[in-house]
Chains A and B, each alone.
Chain A
Amino acid sequence: MKFAGSLLFVMLLLGNFLKAQDITKANSYPEQVGEIVFNPKTDKANFELCDNGWTYEYYGPGTTYKGGAKALKSYLLTHYRYKPAYKNITGYVTIRFLVSCKAQTDRFRVFQLDDNYQKTNFDAGFITHLTTLCKSLDKWVAGSFNGKPVNTYYYINFKMLNGRIKEITP
């Protein structure tokens, strides 16, 4: 009886977990898909944004990196340090963040998927390394509208194969 009760509890938990995974069953949606809300535990309090924090997506006002995707990739590939501990890492790591109107970055968020596009958790040291690399990118060119620089969201997606960077998009 006790076992049946425990099983039921686990099934209920699992059901709720699976429900939470289905975006069409969400209880509410953020103001914008992909919105990054300030987190005082991880984000810089003095990170300056224009226009009361209104933030576009990079592809609208055209936020870029000096030298384009080629320079960005080159920097990341040059500075990435493989470790044997990463050898089982295969899948996708997407790091989404904000590029301010002053071309500064903050509010980094990490998404980790295996090669079947299921949520996973890779080695914490590896994730810290990739995030640190993205944070060290310092040649951003803020997108603009009518010549006025604006805040934008950007993301960098790493396709990993056995701990090596196979592709970087977008």
Chain B
Amino acid sequence: MYEFEYHHPGSVENAAKLLSTLPEAKLLAGGHTLLPTMKQRLAAPKHIVDMRSIRELHGIHVKDGHLVIGAMTTHSHVAESALVNSHLPSLAALAAGIGDPHVRRRGTIGGSVANNDPAADYPSAVLALNATIVTNQREIKADAFFTGMFETALKEGEIITHFVFPTGIKGAYAKFPNPASRYAMVGVFVARHGADVRVAVTGAGANGVFRANALEAALKGDFSPKALDGKGVSADDLNTDMHADAAYRAHLITVMAKRAVTAAQ
């Protein structure tokens, strides 16, 4: 790892100031993507701004019927939270399946969503549950947030502070993990918002997480696994790599969507 200067601001305001004044500064959340990347010398920021000590970014509460989760809240905190388990159990279940127990102790929802790894789990939840991403500058709807592989609508110097999730949604996440890395080879989050259904797919898309419109349309009329018979996503925009080709991923999307719908009943 190359050398850097370490900063640990006590507030989002100070973190934003550091980001705008220091050259080549990077935010450090849980560090389970950034630190390995720096160890491989694929990233070499001159300044690390560690967000861990910013209290306002930690924690979970319910406000106006919505679940509010701070950006620095860890996966294990979300997985074990009584509030998340009662208001949005599908999100708690997803968090409980990220990485391994040690990774879940450090990794954060804000770090995962801001990074938008195409095989990360959280982006599918944010998109399918139609969450709002709140930053130090504005509110961003999930549909406008994920713009491509490792790309988001976040501007230079913009910091995610928390997420606002609607509650009382029937939903579930089904993941087909890569047998070695355990990252999602395909992960499908299905969420029923009254008469509307949102289906978000991670791990498969060449441009990162996306909504599967054909599956959503099929499930709107009939929210059952059977409704997905013969339905699917075109393999055209899906990833091919050493683990699975696009056609296999396309097949897995329907299989995982059916499992998610069954689990969401």
Genuine A/B complex: no
